[in-house]
Structure 1
Amino acid sequence: MSRKKLQRFKENEENWNVVQEGKEIFEQIKGKWNTIQFKQAQPLTVELACGRGEFTVGLARQYPNRNFVGVDIKGARIWKGSTIALAEGMENVSFLRTQIQQLEKFFDQEEISELWITFPDPFPRDGDEKRRLTSPKFLDMYKPMLQRDGIVHFKTDNTGLFDYTLDLVQTREDIEVLLYTHDFNASPLKDEHHGIQTKYEKIFSEKGEKIKYLQFRFL
């Protein structure tokens, strides 16, 4: 392991805005994000597979009256967003280092008001369907954590994953599709996102890939 990565892991251990194994709060945080992690109790927005956290931090800048948690297993990636947030003195953004499969260990029922799934691995092979973050397995896990009328946002460049997800949510009786587009950057919705992009969204957009966006909620 490189010296740089080791240094980043050390800083994650010290930074208050990183919740990870080895810290006492890691075992206590479920249901208590707004009481023991954030200084102000505000609606909680969670981004899954947040990577370097640029989207989580970008949203937190735009909405200081909300709290944001970026979730990823890669500590070196989380370090980036954590460091930026600390440098800017942001108190409404944190990062959780864990596998997304373990999410229900860290968020209680109706604790999340909004959920973002941004550019996840598409796992295109049929045998990998259960690993997709929009598969029935994961949707069933998210549902209890979201508040009544809580919004789920999904963005991807992958047409196959988008069509799979759209077909799935349109056939479920416990889900209401609010809106969707196959070309986000050409739609009026683009302005509502304040130009905030993930690393991968920038890469795909520059290559001319159309970004797809879906918004839904559980009933």
Structure 2
Amino acid sequence: MPHVRKPKLIDERLALHADYLAQDPASLKGRWRTLLPGCRNVRVDLGCGKGQWTVAAARLRPDELVVGIDCEPMCISFAAEHAAVGGVASSGRAKRPEDGYVAPRNAVFAIGDAAMLPGFFAPGEIVHLHMNFPTPFPRKKETQRRVVGVERLAAYRPLLGEKGVLHLKTDSQPLFDYAAEQLAAAGYDIVASTRDLRSDASGFDDVDLAVSEYERKLVMRGAKLHALRAVVREGVAPNVSCEPKSLYDYLPSDLDAIDYVPLGMENALVNMRNRKRNGH
């Protein structure tokens, strides 16, 4: 049996598992449920990366369509491959049912980002919107790039409708605290919250607890998982006039007491500690 061919060109990789791709997601606006007969809900994994969590969620909820979205075409190609064949067996060939792998039929992937969601989904079409370990963009000038900024959150509101739930999971305490402020400003109510999901999962379910390889690596580095669930507060207009903020402002005042540094903030924290020790 020949080894699975690994195309080098992204277009070839995408074509290899096209059955798991939404080639024109805007054309599916209002019609996503038609992709899965008997579909109960549409669940979106925004920033899905290589799709491990998306596929895990699809297995846990076979009656839901789980849509993984990422702005990186290469990530989407890996995600589609992961859904289709589950990686490779020890022999180097694609996994098959005899290996215990059965491809989920309720996972689909699309190239896009947070700003594109209103163009992809109709009002009320998303029942669960997940953001697992989004890039924090800690600097003040990067505020507009955060997927949990108030303007982005305000744009998600009509897509979630009355019954929709927004889920956030992150290793970044500063991003988590910032998100809580932004959610309040955008007219959401936080209905479940924890600063250590593995120790306190009250208010969360098995889908929230699904794990990707990326999450495993963070936990091995000592990360505690901050997580929340939020719903739209009806009858409240979002306040989108929030000022840009640096996530460094959300760090504890005692910098030396920080035992885990979120990815992307390591060098800056070293510099901040050095300045403090030098009396600056």
TM-score under structure 1 normalisation?
0.87
Partner of residue 29, structure 2: 30
Partner of residue 250, structure 2: none
**Given the superposition, is the C-alpha separation of residues 160 and 86 from structure 1 closer, same or farther in structure 2, using an over 3 Å criterion?**
same
Partner of residue 187, structure 1: 200
Tell me how large the CA RMSD over aligned residues is.
2.1
**Given the superposition, is the C-alpha separation of residues 45 and 26 from structure 1 closer, same or farther in structure 2, using an over 3 Å criterion?**
closer
TM-score under structure 2 normalisation?
0.69
Deviation, structure 1 residue 117: 0.6
Q: After the TM superposition, which residues 1-219 of structure 1 pair with which residues of structure 2 at under 5 Å, given as runs?
A: 4=6, 6-14=8-16, 15-20=18-23, 25-35=24-34, 37-87=35-85, 88-172=102-186, 174-189=187-202, 192-193=205-206, 196-219=210-233
Deviation, structure 1 residue 169: 2.0
Q: Does the Cα contact within 8 Å between 1:159 and 1:212 map onto a contact in 2?
A: yes
Deviation, structure 1 residue 7: 4.6
| Structure 2 Cα separation of the partners of residues 152 and 30 of structure 1 | 19
Deviation, structure 1 residue 76: 1.8
Percent identity between the two aligned chains: 27
**Given the superposition, is the C-alpha separation of residues 7 and 107 from structure 1 closer, same or farther in structure 2, using an over 3 Å criterion?**
same
Deviations 1:14-45 (A, max 9, x none): 5121123xxxx44411111112x334433000
Number of residue-to-residue matches in the alignment: 211
Larger Rg: 2
| Structure 1 Cα separation of the partners of residues 164 and 68 of structure 2 | 17
Runs of 5+ consecutive residues of structure 2 not aligned to the other structure: 86-101, 234-280
Larger % of strand: which?
1
| Structure 2 Cα separation of the partners of residues 140 and 42 of structure 1 | 25
Deviation, structure 1 residue 61: 0.5
| Structure 1 Cα separation of the partners of residues 68 and 25 of structure 2 | 14
Q: Does the Cα contact within 8 Å between 1:48 and 1:116 map onto a contact in 2?
A: yes
Q: Aligned AA for 1:44?
A: V
Q: Does the Cα contact within 8 Å between 1:5 and 1:76 map onto a contact in 2?
A: no
- Structure 1 segments, 4+ long, off by >6 Å, are none
Deviation, structure 1 residue 214: 0.9
| Structure 1 Cα separation of the partners of residues 165 and 203 of structure 2 | 17
| Structure 2 Cα separation of the partners of residues 205 and 126 of structure 1 | 27
Runs of 5+ consecutive residues of structure 1 not aligned to the other structure: none
Larger % of helix: which?
1
Compare 91-100 and 55-64 and name the one that shifted more: 91-100
Q: Aligned AA for 1:212?
A: H
Q: Does the Cα contact within 8 Å between 1:72 and 1:97 map onto a contact in 2?
A: yes
| Structure 1 Cα separation of the partners of residues 30 and 206 of structure 2 | 28
Deviation, structure 1 residue 191: 8.1
> Counterpart of 2:123 in 1: which secondary structure?
coil
> Counterpart of 1:164 in 2: which secondary structure?
helix
Q: Aligned AA for 1:13?
A: A
Deviation, structure 1 residue 84: 2.7
**Given the superposition, is the C-alpha separation of residues 212 and 39 from structure 1 closer, same or farther in structure 2, using an over 3 Å criterion?**
same
| Structure 1 Cα separation of the partners of residues 159 and 15 of structure 2 | 27
